[in-house]
A and B are shown apart, each in its own frame.
Chain A
Amino acid sequence: MNLTLFLLFPLFTALAILFAQNLKQIRSIALAGSLLQLGLAVKLLLAYNAERAAGNPAQMLFEYVQDWFAPLHLQYHIGVDGISIAMILLTSFIVVAGILVSWSMETLSKEFFFLLILLSFGAYGFFISLDIFTMFFFLEVAVIPKFLLIGIWGSGKKEYSAMKLALMLMGGSALIMVGIFGMYFSSHTSTGAHTFDLLLLSKMNIPIATQKLFFPFAFIGFGIFTAIFPFHTWVPDGHASAPTAASMFLAGISMKLGGYGCLRVATFLMPDAAHEYSWLIILLATIAIIYGAFATMMQTDLKYINAYSSVSHCGFVLLGIGMLTKTSITGAVMQMVSHGLMTALFFAAIGMIYSRTHTRMVAQLGGLLKIMPFISTVFVIAGLSSLGLPGFSGFVSEMTIFMGSWQNPDNLSRLATILACASIVVTAVYILRAAGKTIMGPITNSHYEQLTDASWNEKFAAVVLISGILIVGMAPFLLIDLIQPGTEIIINKLGAAISH
C-alpha cells in the first residue's frame, strides 16, 4: 500500500477543481475525490488488518523514507499504525460529509471546494508523517485554509473570528516548533546525529531535563488545537462564524490534529516529562470538561452550544492522555474518533436548520420535528450521541476513559474522574434543553411550516456520519483491536520511563 496516495488524491482533486467550468462540475469532482479518499482509507484499513493478521509485528506499516533536505536531516518519512488509520478513516468520513452539505455553495464555489480539499491534504499528510518536522509542515497546511474559509464564507463577526482562530493556532504552532526543535537539538546526545525522525527519537532517551523543558511547549502547542483550557476561546467564535462544512472540518479534523500530536509527539517522545506533568494535564482537562459543560449550559446559539460542548468533549481526550494508563489512552483515541463524527453530525444538522430558518437562536426555534422530521431526527441522534447514549460512539469512548482513569488511585485522578463523570449529567441538561426547545414544543414561527425537509445530499451526509457513529458505538471491539497495538507501544514507552 502506497501511503503517498493519500497526498496525491487530494492534490489531484484540488487541481481538477481549478480547471472545472461550473458549480456542477466542481462539486462533482469534489465529491468523487472525497469518495475516492474514503475508498482509499477503507482499503488501507483492510490492507493493514491483512498485514497484522499475517503476523507483521512492525510498529509502523507501509513505511517509506526519502531524504527531503539532508543538511537539516529533514525526511519525507511516512508510515501508519492503527491510531493513524483511525484518524485517517475519521478524516475521510468527514470530508465526504462536508462536501455533501456544501452542495449548494454558490459564492466562490471553486475556491471553497479547493480549500476544503487542501485542508484534507494537510490532515492526511499530518497523520501519515513519521518525521516531526514534516508533521509540522502539514499541520500548517491545514491551518491556513481555515482562516480563509471563515474569513470569506463565514457569517457574523467573521473577520474577528478568522483572525482570532488563525492567531491562536499560529501561537500553538510556534510553541510546537520550539518543542520539536528542543527534541531535535537534544537528539544527537545518544546517536551523534540530529534527527526529526519520530521512530528514531522514540528509541533514544531524551535527557529528562530537556524533556521537562520542552514537553510543555509541545503539549500546550498541540493542546491549543484541541482546545486546552485556557486556550480554547478560538473554538466558540471560530465555529460560530464558520460555514457549516468548515465547522465540521474544524471540529472533526483540526481539533484531532492536536489530540493526535499531544499523544504521538509530546507524550510518546517525552514520557518522563509526561509523568512529571501528568497532574497538570489532568487538572487542565478537568477544568475544560466541567467548565466547558457549564458554559455550554448558558449558551443561546446552537453553534455556540456545540462549540462549547466540544471544549468539554475534547477535555476527555486530554484527560485520557493525561491519566497515562493504557485503557485511558485507548479511550482518548476512541473519543477523538467519536467526537469528530458526532460533532460533525451536530454541525451538519445545525447547518441544515440554519439554512432553512435563518436563525440559530434556541429561543426563536421550536417544534421542528413536525416540519422536518429527518433533520430533527439527525439533530436528536447527534444530541443523544453527545450525551453518551449506549449504542452511539460517545458511550464507549467515555466509559473507556472513565475506567482507565479510575485505575489511578491518587486523589487528584479520582476527583477528576468523578467530575468528568458528573459532566455527563450536565451534558444531558444542555442537550435536552436545546432539543426540547428547538425540536420539540410548539411551532414558534408560522413561516417555518412551509420549510422542506432534508435534500438527498444532506441525507447522504447524515447517513455517512451516523453509520460511523453506530459502527463505533455498536462494535467498539473493531476500533479497539485497531488502535490497541499502537497504544500498547506508547504505554510500554511510558512504563519504561517510570522504571529508569
Chain B
Amino acid sequence: MSHPIYIALIPLIPLACFLILGLFGRKYFSNSAGIIGTLGLLTSTLLSLSTAYEYLFVSGKVNGVFQKIEVVKFTWLQFSPGVSIDLGLLIDPITVMMLVVVSFVSLMVHLFSLGYMKGETRFATYYAFLGLFTFSMLGLVLSSNIFQIYLFWELVGVSSFLLIGFYFEKPSAVAASKKAFIVTRFADLGFLIGILVLSFYSHTLDFGVLIERLTTSGSPYLTAINAASFLGVSALTWGLLLVFMGGAGKSAMFPLHIWLPDAMEGPTPVSALIHAATMVVAGVFLVARLFPVFALSDPAALNVVMYTGAFSAFFAAVIACTQTDIKRVLAYSTMSQIGYMMFALGVSKYNGEDGLGYMGSMFHLFTHAFFKSLLFLGAGAVIHMVHSNEMKDMGGLRKLMPITHISFLIACLAIAGIPPFSGFFSKEEILMASFESNKLIYAVALLTSGLTAFYMFRLYYSIFWSKPADAHHHGHHGEGTLSMKIPLILLAILAVVAGFVPIASWITADGTAIHSSIPITFSILPVTLAVAGILLATRLFKTSNELPERIAIQMGGLYKAASRKFYIDEVYLFVTKKVLFNLIGRPAAWFDTNIVDGFMNLLAKLTASLSELIKGYQSGKVQDYALYFFGGIAGLIIAFIYLWK
C-alpha cells in the first residue's frame, strides 16, 4: 500500500487551508483565499485519485477479494483496555470511492465559488469553512473506528452549520443553520447511544474488530448481544437502529428530514457540496460501513432501513412536485434519491450476487454525486443571474445561459433515469435488486422514478422555457465567469459517463466482483414511466398555461398538504415550542427560582427572624440581665432539689 503520509495528506491539506485562511485570511489573503483553497483541494483530489488507482488496480485485491486495509492507527483516547478511540485511516472500496467523490465535488465547488462568491466581504472565511467541511468529510470516510467516525460526524455537523449560516445577518439563514444543527444533533444522540450499546457488548470500538465479533456466528460477543434485550428487541437491533438514527439524521430520512429544505439558505455552491454529494450521503455510508453486521446478524434492523428509505424516497418526491423554490425542489429530490440508496441497502444481502442492492446503492451514490451537484451549481448560476429562487421569476433562460441550460438538461435526464445517462444505470441496479427481494419496494421505487422525471422536468421547463426570453431584463449579467462554467461542463461530462464506470467489479458487499447484467426487457417499464413523466411535464410546463393551476385546485387538500410539506414542520414546532419550552423548560426555571431557591431564601429568613427573636434578650439593660441571672439560679436550685436523687 502507498505511504500512509500520502493518504493522511488528503484530509490534512483542507485542514491546513482552514487554519491558514481562518487565522490569517482576513488580513493577508482576502483576495487570494479562493486560489489557495482551490489549489489545496486540487492536490487532495489528485492524491485521492492516485490512492483509488493504487487500491483498485495494484494493491487492494488479494485472491480476487478487496481487502480492508488499515494504513495507520494510533490510540487517541483510551477508555478501558481494548476500548479506545483510535485515529486511523481505513482504506476499502467504499472509502476510495468516497474520497474521489468528496474531493472532486469539493474541488468543483471551490472552483465555482471563485466566481459565485466574488466580492463577498468574508470571502476568505468562506473558503476557510469550505476547507473545514472538506477536512471533516474526508476524515469521516477514512475513519477506522466507530467513535472516530462520530467525532468527524460532529465536525461535519458544525462546519455545515457554519456554512449554512454564512449569511449570518439574515435571520432566516441563522434559523436554518440552527435547525440543521439541532435536528442532526438530536439524531446523533441515537448514534452515540448506539455506539455505547454496541461497544458494551463487543468490547471494542474498532470497525474491523467490531464487525468480526458481531458477525461470526457463535462468537461470545454475538451471543451476548443477542441474548440481551430491552422491550422485546435485542440489544443488537437497538444498537444498530440507534446508529441508523444518526445516519437518518444526516441523510435527511423521514422524519428527521426537516432541516434539509431550510438548509438551502446557505450559499448555493455550499448546497452543491453538502446537500448533494457529501454530508447527506454520510448516513448511507455509515450503514454501508456496518453493512456486514446489518446483513449477516440482524435482518430486522436492515428492514427498518429499507422501509425508512423507501418511504422517504416516495414522500419527498411527492413534495418535490409542489415546491416553487428551485433549491427546495432540489433538496426534496436529494432526500428522495438518498431514500433510493437507503432502501437499496435494505433489500440487499451480503454474499456475492445477492449483494446487488449494496452495489446499486453505492453506484447510485456515485452517479448521484455528479448530477446532483451539477443541478445545484446550475441552480446557483441561475440564481446568480435572476437574483431569486422562485420559479415564477424565471423562464426562457435557455438562450441567455446556453451552457447552464445544456448541462442542467443532462443532469435532469440523468436523474430521470434515461439511458445512456449515468442515473439510468445505477437506478436499474437498484430496481433489479428490489424486484428480486421485495415487490412492494419495487413498486414504490418505480412510482417514485416516474415522479422524479416529472418534477425534474417541471423544474427544467420552468427555468429554461415557459416564458419568452425577453421577459427578463437581467441579460446584462451574462452567464458567469469561466470558473463557474468549467465545473458545469466537467460535471456534465461525468453525469453522462459515470454510468460506465465498472462499480460492480469494485464495490460490493463482500469485496468480490459481481457480474450484473440487466435484461433490456426489465428496463422497458422504468424507462417508459420516466418518459411518461417527462412528457407530462412537457405538456404542463413547457409553455406558460393555466393547466397546472387548475390541476392543483382540483387536487385540493392533497396538493395543499404536499406543498406545505405535510405539516411536518408544524409538528416539530409544536413539540419544541409547546412541549420542550412550555412544558419542561418553563416549569424547570420556575421551580428553580420559586421552590429550590425559595426554600433557601426561606431558610435564610427563618434564621434571620429567629435571631431577631433571640436578639431581644440581649437588650443591654442591666435589670434584664439581673432578672435572667436570678431566674437562672432559681431554676437551677429547683432543678437540683428535685433531680438530685
B-contacting residues of A (Cβ < 8 Å)?
164, 167-168, 229-233, 291, 294-295, 297-299, 326-327, 367, 369-370, 373, 384, 388-391, 395-396, 399-400, 402-404, 406-407, 409, 417-418, 421-422, 424-425, 428-429, 432-433, 436, 439-443, 476-477, 480
Q: Contact check, A298 vs B171: say whether CB atoms are below 8 A apart.
A: no
Residue from B77, B154, B189, B200 in contact with A477 in the complex, judged by beta carbons closer than 8 Å: B77
Residue from B154, B169, B596 in contact with A389 in the complex, judged by beta carbons closer than 8 Å: B154
Residue from B78, B178, B597 in contact with A436 in the complex, judged by beta carbons closer than 8 Å: B178
SS class of chain B's interface: helix, strand, loop or mixed? helix
List the 5 closest pairs (A to B, CB-CB), nearest first.
Answer: A298-B589, A440-B168, A294-B588, A233-B597, A390-B151
Complexed CA–CA distance, A327 and B581 (Å): 34
CB distance from A258 to the nearest CB of B (A): 17
Known A-B contacts A294-B589, A389-B154, A421-B189; A400 and B79 likewise in contact (beta carbons under 8 Å): yes
Q: Contact check, A390 vs B182: say whether CB atoms are below 8 A apart.
A: no
Can you list 20 A-B pairs, Cβ within 8 angstroms, ordered by A?
Answer: A230-B596, A231-B600, A233-B592, A295-B589, A298-B588, A298-B589, A369-B168, A373-B26, A389-B155, A399-B147, A403-B79, A403-B80, A421-B192, A422-B189, A424-B189, A432-B181, A433-B178, A436-B175, A440-B168, A476-B76
Q: Contact check, A390 vs B174: say whether CB atoms are below 8 A apart.
A: no
Known A-B contacts A390-B154, A432-B182; A327 and B589 likewise in contact (beta carbons under 8 Å): no
**B residues less than 8 Å from A418 (CB atoms):** 193
Point out which of B85, B147, B175 has the most chain A C-beta atoms below 10 A from its C-beta.
B85
Does B352 make an interface contact (CB < 8 A)? no
CB distance from A485 to the nearest CB of B (A): 14
Point out which of B79, B181, B193, B584 has the most chain A C-beta atoms below 10 A from its C-beta.
B79
Known A-B contacts A295-B592, A425-B182, A441-B169; A399 and B155 likewise in contact (beta carbons under 8 Å): no
Write the chain A residue with the least CB distance to B179.
Answer: A432
Hey, what's the 0/1 contact readout for B197-209 against A, CB within 8 Å counting as 1?
0011000000000
Does B604 make an interface contact (CB < 8 A)? yes
Complexed CA–CA distance, A384 and B200 (Å): 28
**A residues less than 8 Å from B196 (CB atoms):** 402-403, 406, 417, 421
Does B68 make an interface contact (CB < 8 A)? no
**A residues less than 8 Å from B161 (CB atoms):** 432
Write the chain A residue with the least CB distance to B153.
Answer: A390
Does B16 make an interface contact (CB < 8 A)? no
Hey, what's the 0/1 contact readout for B439-463 against A, CB within 8 Å counting as 1?
0000000000000000000000000
Q: Contact check, A440 vs B589: say whether CB atoms are below 8 A apart.
A: no
Q: Contact check, B168 vs A395: say whether CB atoms are below 8 A apart.
A: no
Complexed CA–CA distance, A345 and B227 (Å): 47
Write the chain B residue with the least CB distance to A387.
Answer: B185
Known A-B contacts A295-B589, A402-B192, A407-B200; A440 and B165 likewise in contact (beta carbons under 8 Å): yes
Complexed CA–CA distance, A297 and B584 (Å): 10
CB distance from A302 to the nearest CB of B (A): 16
Q: Contact check, A395 vs B78: say whether CB atoms are below 8 A apart.
A: no
Known A-B contacts A297-B585, A370-B169; A404 and B79 likewise in contact (beta carbons under 8 Å): yes
Does B586 make an interface contact (CB < 8 A)? yes
Q: Contact check, A327 vs B79: say whether CB atoms are below 8 A apart.
A: yes
**B residues less than 8 Å from A168 (CB atoms):** 600
Complexed CA–CA distance, A230 and B601 (Å): 13
CB distance from A413 to the nearest CB of B (A): 11
Q: Contact check, A442 vs B182: say whether CB atoms are below 8 A apart.
A: no
Residue from A233, A422, A440 in contact with B174 in the complex, judged by beta carbons closer than 8 Å: A440
**B residues less than 8 Å from A477 (CB atoms):** 75-78
Known A-B contacts A295-B585, A442-B169; A425 and B77 likewise in contact (beta carbons under 8 Å): no
**A residues less than 8 Å from B586 (CB atoms):** 298
Does B567 make an interface contact (CB < 8 A)? no
Q: Contact check, A428 vs B199: say whether CB atoms are below 8 A apart.
A: no
Q: Contact check, A294 vs B584: say whether CB atoms are below 8 A apart.
A: yes
Complexed CA–CA distance, A429 and B179 (Å): 9
Q: Contact check, A476 vs B185: say whether CB atoms are below 8 A apart.
A: no
CB distance from A439 to the nearest CB of B (A): 8
Does B163 make an interface contact (CB < 8 A)? no
Q: Contact check, B189 vs A425: say whether CB atoms are below 8 A apart.
A: yes
Write the chain A residue with the least CB distance to B169.
Answer: A442
Complexed CA–CA distance, A73 and B158 (Å): 56
CB distance from B184 to the nearest CB of A (A): 10
Complexed CA–CA distance, A86 and B230 (Å): 40
A sample of 7 more A-B contacts (CB under 8 A), given A297-B580, A442-B169, is A233-B592, A291-B588, A294-B588, A395-B151, A399-B147, A424-B185, A441-B171
**B residues less than 8 Å from A230 (CB atoms):** 596, 599
**A residues less than 8 Å from B192 (CB atoms):** 402, 421
Hey, what's the 0/1 contact readout for B134-165 against A, CB within 8 Å counting as 1?
00000000000001000110110010010001
Complexed CA–CA distance, A443 and B85 (Å): 42
Residue from A407, A440, A476 in contact with B77 in the complex, judged by beta carbons closer than 8 Å: A476
Q: Contact check, A406 vs B584: say whether CB atoms are below 8 A apart.
A: no
**B residues less than 8 Å from A389 (CB atoms):** 154-155, 158
Does B72 make an interface contact (CB < 8 A)? no
Q: Contact check, B200 vs A391: say whether CB atoms are below 8 A apart.
A: no
**B residues less than 8 Å from A441 (CB atoms):** 168-169, 171, 174
Write the chain A residue with the least CB distance to B584.
Answer: A294
Does B83 make an interface contact (CB < 8 A)? yes
**B residues less than 8 Å from A327 (CB atoms):** 79-80
**A residues less than 8 Å from B178 (CB atoms):** 432-433, 436
Q: Contact check, A326 vs B80: say whether CB atoms are below 8 A apart.
A: yes
Q: Contact check, B592 vs A391: say whether CB atoms are below 8 A apart.
A: no
Does B186 make an interface contact (CB < 8 A)? yes
Complexed CA–CA distance, A41 and B317 (Å): 62
Hey, what's the 0/1 contact readout for B41-79 against A, CB within 8 Å counting as 1?
000000000000000000000000000000000011111
Known A-B contacts A389-B154, A407-B80; A233 and B596 likewise in contact (beta carbons under 8 Å): yes
Known A-B contacts A370-B169, A441-B171; A425 and B200 likewise in contact (beta carbons under 8 Å): no
Complexed CA–CA distance, A422 and B599 (Å): 29
**B residues less than 8 Å from A440 (CB atoms):** 165, 168-169, 174
Q: Contact check, B200 vs A406: say whether CB atoms are below 8 A apart.
A: yes
Q: Contact check, A164 vs B600: say whether CB atoms are below 8 A apart.
A: yes
Known A-B contacts A233-B597, A422-B189; A429 and B182 likewise in contact (beta carbons under 8 Å): yes
**A residues less than 8 Å from B171 (CB atoms):** 441-442
Q: Which B residues, 306 to 341, have Cβ-Cβ distances below 8 Å to chain A?
A: none
**A residues less than 8 Å from B589 (CB atoms):** 294-295, 298-299
Complexed CA–CA distance, A421 and B581 (Å): 19
